Structures are given as C-alpha cells and as structure tokens.
Amino acid sequence: MTAPILSLNSVTKMFGDAVALEPLDLAVTKGEFIALMGPSGCGKSTTLRMIAGLEQPTSGAIKLWERDITDLPPWERHMPMVWQSYALFPFMTVRQNVEFGLKEQRKFTAPDRRKKAEEWMARLEIEGFAARPVQKLSGGQRQRVALARALALEPEILLLDEPLSALDAHLRLQMQGELRRLHAELGITFVYVTHSQSEAFSMADRVAILSEGKLQQIGSAREVYAAPANRFVAEFVGASTILTGTAKGDGVIETPVGTFHATGGHAPSAGASATFLVPSNLVDLSASKSGAANEVHAELLTEEFTGAFVTLHLKLADGSLMKVQTQQSDLDRLGLNVGAHIYASWAADAAYILEGE
Amino acid sequence: MSRGIAWQGVWTVLVFAFILTPIASLVFFSFNADRFPSLPWGGFSLEWYRAIFADDTVRAGFWRSIQVSAFVAVVATFIGFATAYTDYRYNFRGKMPYLAIAALPPTVPVLILGLGMLSFFSMVNLVGTLRAVMFGHVVICAPFAMALIRMRLADMSPDIEPAAWNLGASRWATMWRVTIPWCLPSIIASLAITAAVSFDEFMIAWFVSGLEETLPVRILALLQGQVSPRINAIGSLVFFISITLAAIGQLFASRKESTA
C-alpha cells in the first residue's frame, strides 16, 4: 500500500470536559473520495476543522504526506474548504472571491490570476456572473462560487463541510453529480463531511461513520450496507429491520416475535443474546400464512411511495416495527390496505447476524 | 381610523416643532440685520458671519476644535475597533468586566469626568494643552466607536474569517482584506460620530483646555461677555457641522447586509 496523503494518528478533541472526538485513526489515500458521516454532534465537523487547522487537536498528530502538520496554521495548509454556509466574502464580486486565495499565493501576476479565475469560473459555469456581487446570487450559484474559489488554488486535498445541505433537493442531486464528475476529472482527494447517508453512499469511495465522537465503521458503501459493524451503523443506514433475541445454536435465534434461522454474518455462541438484520429489500410478503421457515405475522401501518418502489412499515406482534421495500406491482397484486394483516418471510441466508450483543 | 392617524400626524409635527423651533430660530435670526433677535425682520444680512470670521479668538477656537475632533475620531475609532474585535474573536476569562469597563465612560457624569481629568492631567503636566482635550475626548468617544463597530461585527458570519485563513490569508492579511472592509461602513460612521461628539463637547474641554479654548468654550466665553447676534451665527455653523457628521454616521451605521 502506498503512503497515505493524509493521516490522523490517535487524534482526540476535548471541549472543556466534553469529549468531541475519541482517539481517531484515519488514513486517506491520494485521489480518494472519503466521506465522514454521522448525526450532528458525532465529531465529523470537528475532525474536518482539525484537518483544516481551524481547531487544534487535544492530542494526536495530523500528517500530510508523512509530514506532521498538527501545529501548522490554517493559512499554511493549502487545504481549501467548501462551507455549508458558503462563507463567501459578501462585499466582493464573484471574480474577487475566486481570486482571493490566488492573491495570497503571491506566485501569480495579476493577469495570470485573472486567467486562472476565468478558467475555474468557466468550469463551474459561473463566468456569466463574474462581475456580480455574491449577494445577488442564488444558493446554488453561491455554492459554485465557493467551489471555484477553493478549486482555483489547485489543491491536493479539498475539504467539504456539508456543502449541499443548504440547497433544495433538486439542486442537491444535480450538485452531487457535479461533485462526482469534478472528483473524477481532477484526481483531487476529497474529504467530505455529511449527515446524509444518500450523499455519502452515492459519492464516496469510502465512508467513515462516526457517532458520539467514535469511529463506528469505515469501508465502502457496499461493505457498510451489507455488513454493518454494529447496531448503530445498522440503524443509521436504516436499510434493515433489527431483531434481537437469544441464540440457541445452529443459527437458531429465539425472539419475542418468533424463532428464526439466520446464517449470514457472525455466529453467536449458544445462550448469548444475538441481534440480526433483515434487509428490507429481501422480504417476501403474502396475504396468508405460507409456511416458510422465517415467517412473521404483521400489520401494515403505513406505506411510503417512492417511485417504482414502496416502503412499507409493518407492526410486529410485540409492537416493534419492520421495514419492507417492495415493488409497486407486488403491492397491487396483494391488494393490501393500511391496517391489513400480512405475513412477511425471508431466507435464512438473507439475515445478517451482528457481532456481539 | 383616519381621524386617529390625522391626530398622530398633528402630534408628531408638534413634537418636532417643540424640538426644532429653538434651532430654527437660531439659524433664522443669524441672518437678521437687526441687533436683537426679534420680529419684525430687519432685513437679510451676512454681517454676523463676517463678524465671527473676523474674530481671531473664534477662528483660533474653531481651528483647535477641528484638530481635536480629527485626532479624536481616528484614535477613538481605532480603540473602538480593537475593543470590538477582541470581543468578537476571543473568549477569555474576565470578558464581561473588560466590556463593562470599555463601555463605562459615557455613563459617568461629564462633570465628574471633567474634574477627574483636570486633577489627573495636572499631575502629568498636561493641563492647559490641546493634547489634554484630545485625550479627554478619546476617553468619552471610544465607547461610541466600540458600540457601532461591535454591532457591525455581530452581523459578520463566524465562518468568514476562518474561510479567509483557510484560503491562505494570514491573520493580518485577513484583517486587512476581510475584516476591515466588512467593518468599513461602521468605521466611517464611527469617525463621523466621534468627530461630532468631540466637536460639540464643552465640559471636559472647559476643565482642561486652559487658554487653548476650543470652539464651544469660546462660545460660552463670548456669551458671558455680551449678548450679540454673532452667537446665532456661530451656533448655526456648529449646528450644521455637527448635524452633517451625525447624518454621515447614521447613513453608514444603518447599512445592512448579511454574510450568508
């Protein structure tokens, strides 16, 4: 494995007595698109700010190409950031904003600077607004200016702090595509902070999931999705129903809503408590009892229509909820209404048993 | 309903008339050829203006007041900016007392301030100098500057300065390229308003100026000597200078835009 471009070695952060980040080790490969994801207060933004030099770690070291930059001030790190609030300079035009960082580099003459700014404005399709004050721009346009301003520095690493969360849904999707395209074309390393699973999973090569200042899992979207490291990750990803019971050995787990066979994931020792996941897209529904091995009786609570797919929320016998994703056509075939009684079943190898618990 | 609004209009006009009539009559009679400020109108004349411009003591006082207010505007605005920025950027133990002390001078009765300055300046051998007036005025003006600039800084997004650092601008570069340009309207407002306060200020100047009389001190001395329509002319001039400065201050202080 090649040396990481950026590495965090046991980096921690305390705010007074509060732990914002427990010792975090992270190695980012050159050219990678890595997402730090988690609910608010999980430490993801603090981590990004420490990488940028805007917060000082309480302990640990941050290295850029093996060089310790922990004590380097932000203006010497050359890792421009795209902010959730855009943080554009309000009294400047678009062009002045884009040229801001270039001016500090002092290696460009005024015409070079101008040319470079033009190039990046053209690339982000904002050259038409060059002379406009940034306050006259829409949110989407502002975010493009922020991107141009950061990318004009031609950095090795670009930091992005929830860059899309202030945009409306349509624009967010469009910008996601654009960010992915830019990442592929430029070969720059992206470190992307988000609370949105869909953003992280659709764009990033690797996703690091944090909760309460602790790294829960790091891996590709596929890995995290298929094999969540623990209950938190499974809940955060939200793609499965989580059932807990007692392991009886040989993959048999007894739960309050029935006894099931589960062969995917880890093998719990007999007698121990065991938690397993039922992926919501691998559940079969039938109106009457089918006699399948893993079958549970449920009541249809709500349905959420999302295009070709429908997400159903079922209530199990003990009151816990089950999520099922199915096709609209299957639902029509069953002719189900809210409140209907229904049987849900899944294959033993579809269920995934979590480690521990 | 419309009657109510009409009454409100009348009432507003009455209040303004109450406030402005003395000033209006001062300006009005400064152009009156008669010696006494009374009707009937004795004819338009610039005689009293000619008279005050011919008076060396008034000219000297006017010049001193301009020097003092120019110095005070710059120094008080600088101190005000520094204080406001410290409050904006840093959190430290004792921040509340620090701000309270910084805002204190205007709450002390000017008479007490003037007396205090008289005794202090006499200890350091500054009494009777124009510098004493300048320092005294800086003390009362700096809190106004701080208040104005602090209001402006409060509207600056907390991400703006870090964004500049992140783009490679050192603290100093950020100060010059981002913070000061952002604060510029409030800095101009502060320059105008502190200049106006200093230009008008009588009490401290009277205590510490000695023979270096500023214009307000000179005016009072004139009044004590004789009642002359020249007073109306000086009064009008002072009024227009102050109101212009205050208007500039208002214009810039009320500028609003967000950093988002």
Q: What is the distance of C-alpha B135 from the center of its chain?
A: 14
Give A 49-78 residues with CB within 8 A of chain B: 52-54, 73-78
The mean pLDDT of B97-116, rounded to a whole number, is 90
Give CA separation, B210 vs B55, B72, B106, B125, B218, in Å. 19, 19, 23, 12, 11
Total residues found in chain B within this entry:
260
- CA distance to partner chain A, nearest, from residue B249 (Å): 20
B-interface mutation test, from A85, A105, A113, most B Cβ less than 10 A away: A85
Give CA–CA dist A167/A84, Å, rounded: 9
pLDDT for position B25: 83
On the CB side of A159, how many CA atoms lie within 13 Å of its CA?
24
pLDDT in tens, A269-314: 777 888 888 888 888 888 888 777 788 888 888 888 877 788 888 8
pLDDT for position B260: 41
Q: Where are the domains of chain B?
A: 51-253
First to last CA, chain A: 34
Sign of CA dihedral A122, A124, A125, A126: negative
Q: How confident is the model at residue B257 (pLDDT cuts 50, 70, 90)?
A: low
3-state helix, strand, coil in chain A (%, to 5): 30, 35, 35
DSSP label at A3? P
Most confident of A158-162, B212-216, B253-257: A158-162
Q: Which residue of B has its CA nearest to A149?
A: B167
pLDDT in tens, B135-171: 999 999 999 999 999 999 999 999 999 999 999 999 9
- Give the predicted TM-score (pTM) of the model: 0.83
- Is B85 or B21 the better-scoring residue by pLDDT? B85
* Mean per-residue pLDDT of chain A: 89
- Is A269 or B208 the better-scoring residue by pLDDT? B208
pLDDT in tens, A71-95: 999 999 999 999 999 999 999 999 9
Q: What percent of chain B has pLDDT over 90?
A: 45
ipTM for this model = 0.85
pLDDT in tens, A318-330: 888 898 888 877 7
H or E element in which residue A52 lies: helix A44-52
pLDDT in tens, A335-353: 777 888 888 888 888 888 8
Q: 3-state class of A64 per DSSP?
A: strand
The mean pLDDT of B55-80, rounded to a whole number, is 92
User: Does residue B72 carry a pLDDT above 50?
Assistant: yes
- CA distance to partner chain A, nearest, from residue B259 (Å): 5
- Domains of chain A (ranges; CATH) run 6-226 (3.40.50.300), 239-283+291-353 (2.40.50.140)
Give A 111-150 residues with CB within 8 A of chain B: 135, 149-150
* Mean per-residue pLDDT of chain B: 87
Residue A191 CB contacts under 8 Å (≥ 6 apart), including other chains:
A6, A28, A34, A36, A48, A51, A157, A158, A159, A160
pLDDT for position B259: 46
CATH number for the region B51-253 comes to 1.10.3720.10
Q: How confident is the model at residue B23 (pLDDT cuts 50, 70, 90)?
A: confident
